[in-house]
Structure 1
């Protein structure tokens, strides 16, 4: 057997950013299914303290990070990553990808996982063209979003789209894959916040540990 054939396959690492305001079962189930589908060793879940293209979250970044840690618990391969909370100013995914690429090295397949709604705005991101030089982009497909893509997104993606995980992983970066997950959990953080504001139950929408932390910290409730 040759040295090349004995060499283990390249490590696969993912990043899933978001406000996680608050983290819920939809986020966590999607993260687990993405990790399984892509064969990721680790999926970094990275809360954004101040997302440039979204309203400022209602609770602090530190509180949202604590809820994320509670939600992940001991789930294998999922990591609550606070690197964006330690930066000044708005959070840019390209900077996080650059840090992860530097940490793991050039031989690792690095993947940025985003939802369909975020993907449709990708051309408006800061230094969007640099993303593909650092990582693949895997889009969690969601029913009901418009097709075809906006013209600016079509131009940005070019001929990068592939149709399978195996094709994507032939390279360490630069591809785009739309991925349909088995569980399409239509849970919205906005809906959860509204229920909390109205004093209604969020049981089974969020993990029990997250629910307990929300109520013990009086987060998202009227007047908070």
Structure 2
């Protein structure tokens, strides 16, 4: 009988604010990868984008409100406890130390973030700690940039089962069933204009945004 190792996922982002697209993707990732836990980790200061308009603590509170009691999803504040930029390799190193060497650790990113992966801090080190799963963009057929291809081509696997044979080092492109084209930028613009975000964010998130007057001055 084969051993069953724990499966842990990491899904980072600004979550500025958390919306139903984020949360539906998280639920589907939890199912598709058969994860025991998916850590949703807000970034303190994303190195490759502008500082979010609301505080990290407010974004964490909205994330917790959005997750609620959803099984298998965890709002993780570890990057908010650090000073300076939020580097994924530091977070993965922490998770690996916590869960042990045999745990199947998976970092999940969206396709747009994946296209910028070679600009990240020490991107090759990601694979020392975890697998990388990219949420595929249906219909995208352009070849990947050469530096990105060099980084991942020898790590590609074709299935979740193959990915989980090892604790780290693999690369999988994964299509999720629900394609929810919801943008945090769009939500912020609607909030600034005083328009409804009903059915774009969970009701507790909508209520918290209204209660604290968040995103009223955002660009």
Shorter-chain TM range is over 0.9
Give 1:34 shift.
0.4
Give 1:27 shift.
0.2
Structure 1 counterpart of 2:164, from 165, 169, 189: 169
Q: Helix, strand or coil: the match of 1:91?
A: coil
Distance in structure 2 (CA, Å) of the matches to 1:145 and 1:158 = 17
Q: Which residue does the alignment assign to 2:65?
A: 70
Q: Which residue does the alignment assign to 1:158?
A: 153
Alpha-carbon displacement from aligned partner over 1:140-177 (angstroms, at most 9, x marks no partner): 11236562111110111131111111111111110110
Distance in structure 2 (CA, Å) of the matches to 1:187 and 1:111 = 24
Distance in structure 2 (CA, Å) of the matches to 1:145 and 1:215 = 37
Alpha-carbon displacement from aligned partner over 1:173-210 (angstroms, at most 9, x marks no partner): 10110100000000000000000000000000000000
C-alpha change, 1:144 and 1:198, in structure 2 (3 Å) is farther
Q: CA RMSD in A?
A: 1.3
Distance in structure 2 (CA, Å) of the matches to 1:117 and 1:70 = 26
Distance in structure 2 (CA, Å) of the matches to 1:54 and 1:217 = 25
* Contact 2:53–2:218, Cα closer than 8 Å, also in 1: no
Structure 2 counterpart of 1:59, from 49, 54, 57: 54
Q: Which residue does the alignment assign to 2:215?
A: 220
Question: Deviation above 6 Å: which 4+ runs of structure 1?
Answer: none
Give 1:49 shift.
1.0
Distance in structure 2 (CA, Å) of the matches to 1:201 and 1:8 = 50
Instruction: With the length of structure 1 as denominator, give the TM-score of the two structures.
Output: 0.95
Give 1:8 shift.
4.3
Distance in structure 2 (CA, Å) of the matches to 1:19 and 1:12 = 24
Alpha-carbon displacement from aligned partner over 1:109-144 (angstroms, at most 9, x marks no partner): 000000000111111110111000100000011236
C-alpha change, 1:146 and 1:123, in structure 2 (3 Å) is farther
Instruction: With the length of structure 2 as denominator, give the TM-score of the two structures.
Output: 0.97
Structure 2 counterpart of 1:49, from 41, 44, 48: 44
Uncovered stretches (5+) of structure 1, i.e. residues with no partner: none
Q: Which residue does the alignment assign to 1:127?
A: 122
Answer yes or no: is 1:22 the counterpart of 2:35.
Answer: no
* Contact 1:117–1:145, Cα closer than 8 Å, also in 2: no
Q: Helix, strand or coil: the match of 2:38?
A: strand
Q: Which residue does the alignment assign to 1:102?
A: 97
Distance in structure 1 (CA, Å) of the matches to 2:93 and 2:158 = 26
